[in-house]
Every structure is written in structure tokens, then in C-alpha cells.
């Protein structure tokens, strides 16, 4: 019953964080107690994201009637550190969150006035994701599985609409499919899909269509079996 109550209070408070421009963070922590229940299995510890000034979050951490400035630490109800961040007028510029075992859960830092970087970690200490932001847009993103192998990578062009590169990987670490820019001005791409043994499965050209904000096929697309033999062609 205690676990359910804690979770319900957390959900209620999370709603407050995202809906109000200002909140008394200190009092809310005291009411709900920080336990491992705040760690989402997919997204990790997102409790402090509404305070991130570089991602255009508009919430402010207020304590004793004033916006927090300088370094601030929060702890789990069992005593271990959960958060350490540097605040400017109640908003985060640099911070780290931690798992109950002491390992870092995420590390966010500002590079300059416009660029910032986020690194997420698994509880075992391995890197989960690396994200590079321009303002609040994720320009470059890399995901890893828990054993350390890369599972996904993407990088956007400066227009923040089309990609320079986008790659998915098999669990084995080999490339599953990839989108690579061919002619930047024309926004044309080469798309290649692979069998798990590394041989090409499908290959063709795409163009980023600004009228639909998506990639469309053109030209001849080639299909191959897992031995490299061509057995089908499609024309667009």
C-alpha cells in the first residue's frame, strides 16, 4: 500500500511540474520522499527535466520564496544522492542524477549559449544514450544496448528537418539499415537495408520532400537475397 501511495503522489507531483511555471520543489520532495519509484524503466529519472533551461523548460525551483541559485543536492529517502545540479534563477544549467547504487543516471552540461549535451547511463554504468542539442533540438543522437553495443544513430542537417545520417543496428552490432545523404543541396539519399550476415538486402534512393516533410522513393530499388544475389527490382 505504501508503494502504491508513493507512486500516486509521484504521478500527481510530476503533473504539477509540467503544468506550472513555478513550484516549491523542496516541499514537494518532503511530501513524496524520493525513492527508486521515480526511475522510469524506459526514460530514467525525468523529475528534473522541467527545470532544464537549455531545453526551453519554463519551470523554476523555488525554496523559501526565492529561486534557487548555485549548487543543490537532493537525496533518496535512504540517504543516497539522487541529484546534484547548478541552478541559475531556479533553472538548471549543469546537473547529474544518480541511481540508488551510486552510478550516474544522466549527465547534462551546457557547451555554450546554444549547445548542450546529455549522456544517459544504465544502472550497470554503461552508456545508454548520447544526445547533442542545438537550443532544444536533438541534432545528434546515439543509443546503445545494455552490453555496450550501438543500437541506433542519427544526425540532422542544419534545417532540423532532414537527416545527414540515420542508422539502425541488429543486436549483434551489425548494421540493419542506414540512410546516408548523397547530395545535400538536392536532399537526396542512399538507403541500404542489410541481412544480419552483413550482405545487402535492399538498396535505393530517397529524396526529402518538403511538401510532405518526409522521405520518398525514386529511381530503381534493388532487392537481394542473403547470398548477394539480385532477385527483384522496383521502379519509382
Tell me the pLDDT tens digit for each residue of 202-233. Answer: 999 999 999 999 999 999 999 999 887 877 89
Dihedral sign (CA 37, 41, 42, 43): positive
**CA 195 – CA 106 distance, rounded (Å):** 34
In this prediction, residue 14 has a pLDDT band, given cuts at 50, 70 and 90, of very low
Q: Check pLDDT > 80 for residue 22.
A: no
SS3 41: coil
Q: What is the mean pLDDT of residues 63-82?
A: 92
The tens digit of pLDDT for each residue in 87-99 reads: 999 999 999 999 9
Q: What is the pLDDT of residue 121?
A: 98
Q: What is the mean pLDDT of residues 127-151?
A: 96
Other C-beta atoms within 10 Å of 181: how many?
Answer: 19
Share of the chain above pLDDT 70, in %: 86
Q: Check pLDDT > 50 for residue 136.
A: yes
Closest CA relative to residue 35, chosen from 9, 60, 61, 68: 9
Amino acid at each position: 500500500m505504501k508503494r502504491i501511495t508513493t507512486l500516486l503522489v509521484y504521478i500527481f507531483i510530476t503533473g504539477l511540474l509540467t503544468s506550472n511555471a513555478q513550484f516549491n520543489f523542496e516541499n514537494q520532495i518532503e511530501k513524496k520522499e524520493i525513492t527508486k519509484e521515480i526511475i522510469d524503466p524506459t526514460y530514467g529519472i525525468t523529475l528534473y527535466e522541467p527545470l532544464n533551461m537549455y531545453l526551453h523548460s519554463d519551470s523554476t525551483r523555488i525554496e523559501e520564496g526565492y529561486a534557487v541559485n548555485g549548487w543543490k543536492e537532493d537525496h533518496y529517502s535512504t540517504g543516497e544522492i539522487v541529484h546534484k545540479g547548478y541552478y541559475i534563477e531556479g533553472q538548471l544549467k549543469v546537473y547529474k542524477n544518480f541511481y540508488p547504487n551510486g552510478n550516474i543516471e544522466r549527465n547534462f552540461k551546457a557547451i555554450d549559449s546554444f549547445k548542450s549535451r546529455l549522456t544517459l547511463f544504465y544502472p550497470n554504468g554503461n552508456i545508454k544514450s548520447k544526445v547533442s542539442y542545438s537550443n532544444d533540438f536533438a541534432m545528434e543522437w546515439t543509443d546503445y544496448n545494455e552490453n555496450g553495443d550501438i543500437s541506433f544513430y542519427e544526425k540532422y542537417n542544419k534545417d532540423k528537418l532532414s537527416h545527414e545520417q540515420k542508422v539502425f543496428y541488429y543486436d549483434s552490432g551489425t548494421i540493419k539499415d542506414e540512410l546516408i545523404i548523397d547530395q545535400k543541396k538536392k536532399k537526396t539519399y542512399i538507403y541500404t537495408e542489410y541481412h544480419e550476415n552483413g550482405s545487402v538486402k535492399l538498396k535505393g534512393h530517397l529524396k526529402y520532400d518538403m511538401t510532405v516533410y518526409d522521405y520518398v522513393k525514386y529511381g530503381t530499388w534493388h532487392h537481394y537475397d542473403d547470398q548477394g544475389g539480385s532477385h527483384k527490382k522496383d521502379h519509382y
